[in-house]
Amino acid sequence: MKSQTSSSQRRIIIADDESLIRLDLREMLISLNYDVIAEVGDGRAAVDLAKKLLPDLVIMDIKMPEVDGIAAAEELTREKIAPVVLLTAYSDQALVARAREAGVVGYIVKPFRETELMPVIEVAMARFDEFTALEQELGDMKEALESRKVVERAKGVLMEVHGLRESEAFHRIRRTSMDSRKSMKEVAEAILLTHEMEFGVRAKD
């Protein structure tokens, strides 16, 4: 994915089968200086358009005709097209678990507010970059997803203990991985083990 320097350069596709939702979301994104390059009403069209236009992000409803948001997210993640943020009105844990396994990197819960959008979008793109780095290291999407869970927990420890931002915590793990010639998962596991031994607590999943 291309490196960006400001939100005005972020190119986003919106996918939702409700036109009013698409309209509200488009207006909010434009207000935040994002570039909405396309809107579609079903999952298959979203995937096809994303492959053609190569956006920086796809915001997609979880329940849609043709292909649902989770299946579409899995395809876009597997082919490294773009990160996907899901729009959902559901708190179904089975759906959340399925979405996580598909590589979904962010969620926006309906009804959403403009102030909630930018943080979710920026974190989602950062996490997609991290996932891509892990997959390049491992050469396997499933292994990368498993590694990402461990790295996420280790980032949380570094953020809590050292007061780092999320991006700083990831860069520290990646730099240590390169310096020590160990995988990022191995480095993350070492961080979690050290934290558990020192503080007697296990980082939450």
Structure tokens at 176: 């240590």
CA distance 28 to 102: 27
Q: What tens digit of pLDDT does each residue of 157-186 get?
A: 999 888 988 888 888 998 898 889 888 889
Q: Report all structural domains of the chain as residue ranges with CATH numbers, in order of start.
A: 7-129 (3.40.50.2300), 140-199 (1.10.10.10)
73 contacts 127 by C-beta, under 8 angstroms:
no
- Digit-coded pLDDT (tens) for 87-146: 887 666 667 777 777 778 788 888 888 998 999 998 888 888 877 777 777 666 677 777
